[in-house]
Amino acid sequence: SYDLTQPSSVSVSPGQTAKITCSGDFLTRKYARWFQHKPGQAPVLLILRDTERPSGIPDRFSGSASGATVTLTISGAQVEDEAVYYCYAPADNNRVFGGGTTLTVL
Amino acid sequence: QVQLVESGGGVVQPGRSLSLSCVASGFNFRDYGMFWVRQAPGKGLEWVALISYDGSQRYYVDSLRGRFTVSRDNSKNSLYLQVNTLRPDDTAVYYCAIDGGERWGRGTLVVVSS
Q: What is the pLDDT of residues B9-47, one digit of tens each?
A: 999 999 999 999 999 999 999 999 999 999 999 999 999
Q: What's the 3-state SS for chain A?
A: CCCCECCCEEEECCCCCEEEEEECHHHHCCCCEEEEECCCCCCEEEEECCCECCCCCCCCEEEEEECCEEEEEECCCCHHHCEEEEEEEEECCEEEECCCEEEEEC
pLDDT at residue B88, rounded to an integer: 96
Contacts of A90 in chain B (CB under 8 A): 100
Expressed in percent and rounded to 5, the helix, strand and coil fractions of chain B are 10, 50, 40
Q: What is the pLDDT of residues B43-99, one digit of tens each?
A: 999 999 999 999 999 999 988 878 999 999 999 999 999 999 999 999 999 999 999
Q: Which residue of A has its CA nearest to B99?
A: A95
| CA A81/CA A97 separation, integer angstroms | 20
CB B95 within 8 A of CB B20: no
| Inter-chain CB proximity B45 and A35 less than 8 Å | yes
| Inter-chain CB proximity B59 and A86 less than 8 Å | no
Test the B interface: residue of A47, A95, A101, A103 with most B CBs within 10 Å? A95
Q: Which H or E element spans position B74?
A: none
